[in-house]
Structure 1
Amino acid sequence: MTDEIYAKDAYVKTFKGKVTSLEGNGIILDKTAFHPRGGGLESDTGEIISEGNHYRVLEVKRVDGKIIHVLDRIEGLAINAEVEGVIDWERRYRMMRLHTASHIIASIAYTKYNALITGGNITPEYAKDDFDLENKDLLPKIVEEANQIANKSIPVKVYFLSRSEAMKIPGVVKLAEKMPPDVQVWRIVEIEGVDLQADGGPHVANTKEIGTIEIIKVENRGKGKKRLYYTVKP
């Protein structure tokens, strides 16, 4: 199993590891700070460096529990090769800001309007979330409140709980039609006094880092289906 560095410290930009397996045009490492695609987030990209050779990390994905780093080429790499991983930090950090913003928005939608997220995706440029809301005019109000919360400089904490303890928390899973994770230890992301969710992705350490959440557009996708596109600005 790969040690998932990003799950414990989202601010690790470089790391050293070892190749444990070659998988087609990708490699598996004993540890990684690259976040694989999942949980609505696109994957990290960056570089793998080994013996002076630079390999571009095009995509990172989880397949059958294995984290595969898809490279532009694998010639020169072998099992047990020592490598350095370098995260494309600008890309990662924007997704961290958007990800934490999405948690604040989801929390307001849930606590005030009992609305769950029915789908979504986060890219470095923008995020989109679908809500089971009847009135799309509520979304600008939610974003306005989310900005007020972000500006309060609230710490964002990451910790781990047993499944039984996590299941006692109301609203710990805010995705509609998603079963609670079938694992015994859950990773919890807590925005103090605002939100607490089971979540596997990288976040900023303080809401002040988000910047300003700006709406790109709001769409009516049908009865009880509203989509919000948004980005973050410094």
Structure 2
Amino acid sequence: MKELYLTDCYLKEFKATVESVKDDKFVVLDRTAFYPNSGGQPHDTGMLVREDGAEFPVTYVARSEGRISHEIAAAGLKAGDNVKGIIDWDRRHLFMQYHTACHILSAIIHNETGAKISGNQLGEDKTRVDFNLEDFDRELIKSYEAKVNEIIDRKIPVSIEIMPRDEALKIPSVVKLMDAFPPEIEEIRIIQIPGVDTQACGGTHIANTGDIPHIEIIKAENKGKNNRRVYFRFVDN
């Protein structure tokens, strides 16, 4: 299966062929632009439209046995059917904005404190970042808000590059997540915000920081020993 979102996060529609259907609702395509629920980023939703015009709403997308499975809300698709996939763009674009903003905030936390990111969860109303830090200064955390917004205002291009594993891991601090990539992964996708962050990531991202609304840090809390959590949301610029 070709995962089209890995190289083009802005692809809103695509053509594909159904490879298999399980229980009339779990559809595997030969190629897809639908992002599966993973890495703290929620799945895409949208529509599969068959050549005869029949529509099959996509309500959930996840990896299953190494393949991306699209859960549809109407039965009728069969292996061999040709379809057009249509992404719910408003939802996807919001998560792209939140995900890139999350990288910026994570980079600032990492650079300021040396903390590694232990998790994140994107949401439609707010997003959270978890990181391992012993000392927790709420005023200092709040100061990161202005630093993120300054980077947003600089309108920095965001690039995507898929690199051989050995080459990618030579980049300092490229993997800021606590759990490194397993050995079987031969290529690593790198998201770069020049002068701000270079990080391995499989999610979807904005092409320029200027396309992200300003953020507001709304809550900072302790989640156990060396585990801190920060919530932020978008505000009107």
Say if 2:7 is the partner of 1:5.
no
Equivalence for 2:67: 66
Equivalence for 1:217: 219
User: Could you tell me how far apart the structure 2 residues matched to 1:112 and 1:167 are?
Assistant: 22
1:61-93: CA deviation from partner (whole Å, max 9, x where unpaired): 01121000011122x211110101111110000
Equivalence for 1:192: 194
Amino acid at match of 2:233: T
Q: Secondary structure at the match of 1:84?
A: strand
1:25-80: CA deviation from partner (whole Å, max 9, x where unpaired): 21001111100011110100111111211111111001121000011122x21111
Pairs aligned (count) = 231
Counterparts of 1:143-162 in structure 2, within 5 Å, are 143-162=145-164
Which is further off, 224-233 or 149-158? 224-233
User: Could you tell me how far apart the structure 2 residues matched to 1:200 and 1:122 are?
Assistant: 14
Deviation at 1:125, TM superposition (A): 2.3
Q: Secondary structure at the match of 1:17?
A: strand
Amino-acid identity (%): 40
User: Could you tell me how far apart the structure 2 residues matched to 1:164 and 1:61 are?
Assistant: 28
Equivalence for 1:17: 16
Counterparts of 1:46-195 in structure 2, within 5 Å, are 46-50=46-50, 51-74=52-75, 76-133=76-133, 134-137=135-138, 138-176=140-178, 178-182=179-183, 183-195=185-197
Is the contact made by 1:162 and 1:184 (CA closer than 8 Å) also made in structure 2? yes
Which is further off, 163-172 or 115-124? 115-124
User: Could you tell me how far apart the structure 2 residues matched to 1:103 and 1:191 are?
Assistant: 9
Q: TM-score if structure 1 supplies the norm length?
A: 0.95
Is the contact made by 1:136 and 1:226 (CA closer than 8 Å) also made in structure 2? no
Deviation at 1:14, TM superposition (A): 0.8
Q: Secondary structure at the match of 2:177?
A: coil
Alignment gaps of 5+ in structure 2: none
Is the contact made by 1:155 and 1:207 (CA closer than 8 Å) also made in structure 2? yes
Q: TM-score if structure 2 supplies the norm length?
A: 0.93
Which is further off, 199-208 or 223-232? 223-232
